Amino acid sequence: MDWHAEKQAILQQARCVVIKVGSAVLTDEHGLDLHVIKNLVKQLAFLHSKELNVVLVSSGAVAAGRAVLREESSIGGVPGKQAASAIGQSRLMHTYDQLFDAHGIISAQILLTKDDLSNRQRFLNARNTFTQLLSWGVIPVVNENDTVAVQELLKFGDNDTLGSLLLNLVEADLFINLTTVGGVLCANPEKVSNVTIMPCVEDVHSLDLDELCGGKTSVGTGGMYSKLLSARRASQLGVPTLILPGKEKDVLIRAFEGEEMGTWIRANVRGISRRKFWMAYNQNVYGEIVIDEGAAKALRSGGKSLLPAGITSVEGDFMAGDLVRVVTTQGDAVGVGLSNYNAKDLQMVKGRKLTELMESNEPYFEAIHCDNLLIGAVI
Ligand code: GLU
């Protein structure tokens, strides 16, 4: 199916959509931009009326809090940002509650940290809450819990990432990212003149993001770099992403009614299992396994487990069952997976051939079983 037809079919048939909207769309120099939020809520009410389950991931708490305090110079540092978020989040939610109420829709606030989703029990608890809310026709409004998520281990980092992880939690079939630009540009505008917006990205995994977006460092918490990384995760799950200009009036309604806007990012035809997605993206990475080029080639060809013979070194102090990164001796990322061995034992078996492992009765012949390995993980 060509991408036009695929896009229209998915927009018509989707049952559950995660829509992420960034601070720059929702706010102006005075704080929350009510004009934009009112229009957004009207559009979400339109999608809701089409029997579509809608989950909104909304930033804007910090910007709204800053506008209330109006003393930006004293809001520096992490605690200042957290405090501004605490002030702004209730304003943001109050605004949504009132605007949704005018459409006869109930909204609900959900604040999450990465830690919440890395704990399987809490992941399932959160999933039950979403399922219940959606079955009641409620629109959940999600944000990162900035009060407690300040360190790398607890933080999603940005709401694009949070949105992509929610696709798995709520079993969405479409991801929409509302941003301040018109879509994904075909080249880096800092290097090339007359760049145009790509209406479709066929294979998001093959894009050179450093070249296209100028690398990760230039984008703060969001930017196109993190939107495309999130689109890659979505694609692995078999979920397409639509990047749209969020400040444009009625952009969602127009897109759902067939107007060609923004960038459609196609998904992998065969998505990975939800379990593998959770394993790769909801847990922290505790170490690194370095492998030779032969092993990397074998793993990338698909369906293979990582054997100790291909391992050249082991970094970090991880336990058996922990998530580790797999890289080549050249430093190229291969993927992530759950190690069968702890770091100490893996040091002992690394480089050993299958026959040697059998002779010495080692408990596992694979360092990482292929069922617990995601090649090309986007972390
Ligand atoms: N949680 C932050 C806020 O509500 C935004 C984080 C982000 O935009 O990625 O202001």
In a shared domain, residues 16 and 126: yes
In a shared domain, residues 270 and 309: no
The number of beta carbons lying within 10 Å of the beta carbon of residue 85 is 26
pLDDT at 222: 53
pLDDT at 157: 79
Q: What is the arithmetic mean of pLDDT over 249-277?
A: 96
In a shared domain, residues 361 and 229: no
In a shared domain, residues 186 and 115: yes
Residue at a domain's end among 244, 260, 276:
276
Expressed in angstroms and rounded, the spacing between residue 227 Cα and the centre of ligand 1 is 14
Least confident piece of the model among 183-187, 220-224, 253-257: 220-224
User: Would you say the CB of residue 23 lies under 6 angstroms from ligand 1?
Assistant: yes
Task: Tell which atom from ligand 1 comes closest to the C-alpha of 59.
Answer: 4
Burial 253-290 (b: 16+ CB within 10 A, else e): eebbeeeebbbbbbbbeeebeeebbbbbbbbebbbbbb
In a shared domain, residues 171 and 27: yes
Each residue's pLDDT tens digit, 82-116: 899 999 999 999 999 999 999 999 999 999 999 89
CATH classification at residue 201:
3.40.1160.10
User: Would you say the CB of residue 57 lies under 6 angstroms from ligand 1?
Assistant: no
User: Would you say the CB of residue 226 lies under 6 angstroms from ligand 1?
Assistant: no
215 pLDDT band (50/70/90 cuts)?
low
Q: What is the arithmetic mean of pLDDT over 366-372?
A: 97
In a shared domain, residues 77 and 206: yes
Residue at a domain's end among 260, 276, 292:
276
Pocket test residue of 21, 75, 85, 154 for ligand 1, highest count of atoms within 8 A of CB: 85
- Residue 175 bridge partners (DSSP): 18, 241
Of 356 and 291, the structure prediction assigns the larger pLDDT to: 291
CA gap 92, 62 in Å, rounded: 10
In a shared domain, residues 174 and 311: no
pLDDT at 233: 97
In a shared domain, residues 246 and 348: no
In a shared domain, residues 357 and 269: no
Q: What is the arithmetic mean of pLDDT over 24-43?
A: 94
User: Would you say the CB of residue 335 lies under 6 angstroms from ligand 1?
Assistant: no
Expressed in angstroms and rounded, the spacing between residue 14 Cα and the centre of ligand 1 is 27
pLDDT at 218 over 60: no
pLDDT at 142 over 80: yes
Each residue's pLDDT tens digit, 333-356: 999 999 999 999 999 999 999 899
Q: What is the arithmetic mean of pLDDT over 70-93?
A: 84
302: containing domain: 284-375
pLDDT at 327: 98
In a shared domain, residues 199 and 305: no
Q: What is the arithmetic mean of pLDDT over 114-125?
A: 91
In a shared domain, residues 243 and 292: no
Of 157 and 151, the structure prediction assigns the larger pLDDT to: 157
In a shared domain, residues 261 and 289: no
Of 146 and 39, the structure prediction assigns the larger pLDDT to: 39
CATH classification at residue 307:
2.30.130.10
Each residue's pLDDT tens digit, 173-205: 999 999 999 999 988 888 888 889 999 999 999
- Count of structural domains within the chain: 2
Each residue's pLDDT tens digit, 156-167: 878 999 999 999
pLDDT at 10 over 50: yes
User: Would you say the CB of residue 64 lies under 6 angstroms from ligand 1?
Assistant: no
User: Would you say the CB of residue 62 lies under 6 angstroms from ligand 1?
Assistant: yes
Residue at a domain's end among 276, 311, 326:
276
